[in-house]
Amino acid sequence: MKKIAIMGCGWFGKALAQSLITQGYHVRGSVTNKNGLEDLGNLNIEPFLIKVNKEAIVGNLNSFLEEVDTLLIAFPPGLRRNPDSNYTNQIKIIITALTRHTSCKLVLLSSIGVFGASQGVVNEKSTPVPDSLSGQQLLEAEKSIQNAANDATIVRLGGLVGNDRHPVKQLAGKTNIPAPQAPTNLVHREDAISFLVAIIKEGHWGKILHCVSPIHHKRDDFYTLAAKRLNLTPPSFQTTRSKRNKLVMDNSSAALFGFLYRLPDCGVEVS
């Protein structure tokens, strides 16, 4: 039985772990708070308490990675909650620790945030020009992953939507929201999970891939309808146009492993 380790087993990581378990994998998951250990155990995920700070790893990383075939790094930069965190250094620390586990393959869950908001249409071959500290740290982390001795693939995820999670909940009732015409760059959690499972099962390494829905709506249309569907107060957008025009394309997955987005509208159809 192949062992998979997910570092950062939160809302997305737990759902991914459950999918892998149903397909016969033994899955280990890490959390940074003791309160999360029981939750993982109840889901048949082997639980570990591991925290990566700016200087070191707290927890038994060697036990976490023992005989593991693939490690998925699934925690975000987290600068909103902790402005002093340094994601780039965290990834470098993990890579250094992996020198004892050279057969372990890597998947970094990165983000389309590596691209600036005004970069227009971009794909896997486009050069990222991040315009935020988070994006800059993500891009540096990607470079570290590419230079690692381990076989690795980087997956840039769009904004995740699924079940109880939808970005419109943060916008409901708000006014004067900018960039009404900017395109959405979202992906449903179920599609993202299927995408990652295919990479792991089929062994697509040494890649930079985009996991983003092929349908891009105007922000004002999408979020207004989403709010109505969820019985929320629709947000109100500015009438002036914005320079935000980033539209992220997935040009590789269909040819590489026949991937099909099954929820391309992310639960909201806009006519």
Q: Which of 37-41, 48-52, 240-244 has the lowest mean pLDDT?
A: 240-244
Tens digit of pLDDT for each residue in 190-237? 999 999 999 999 999 999 999 999 999 999 999 999 999 889 999 999
Q: Are strands 57-58 and 51-52 parallel, antiparallel or unpaired?
A: antiparallel
Are the C-beta atoms of 147 and 91 separated by less than 8 Å?
Answer: no
In a 10 Å sphere around its CB, with 0-12 CB exposed, 13-18 middle and 19+ buried, how is residue 101 labelled? buried
User: Average pLDDT for residues 47-75, to the nearest whole number?
Assistant: 93
Torsion angle (degrees, nearest 10) of CA 132, 135, 137, 142? -160
Instruction: List helix spans (H) across the chain.
Output: 11-22, 35-42, 61-65, 87-97, 133-146, 168-171, 189-202, 219-229, 253-257
Which residues are bridge partners to 121 per DSSP?
A: 247
CB within 8 A of 240, min separation 6: which ones? none
Interhelix angle 87-97/133-146, nearest 10 degrees? 20
Confidence class of residue 271 from pLDDT cuts 50, 70 and 90? very low
216: amino acid identity, one letter: H
Q: Are strands 26-31 and 46-49 parallel, antiparallel or unpaired?
A: parallel
The total of other beta-carbon atoms located within 10 Å of residue 173's CB is 10
CA 202 – CA 193 distance, rounded (Å): 14
pTM of structure = 0.95
Mean pLDDT score of the chain, rounded to an integer?
Answer: 94
Query: Shortest CA distance to 111 belongs to which of 67, 148, 141?
Result: 141
Phi, then psi, of 23 in degrees rounded to 5? -100, 15
Percent of the chain with pLDDT over 70: 98
> Are 192 and 160 in contact, with CB atoms under 8 Å apart?
yes
Domain edges within the chain: 3-161+187-212+246-254
Q: What is the model's pLDDT at position 9?
A: 95
Of 143 and 268, more confident: 143
Radius of gyration of the chain (CA): 19
CATH fold of 3-161+187-212+246-254 reads: Rossmann fold (3.40.50)
pLDDT tens digit string along 116-165?
999 999 999 999 999 999 999 999 999 999 999 999 999 999 999 987 88
Residues 67-84 have a mean pLDDT of: 87
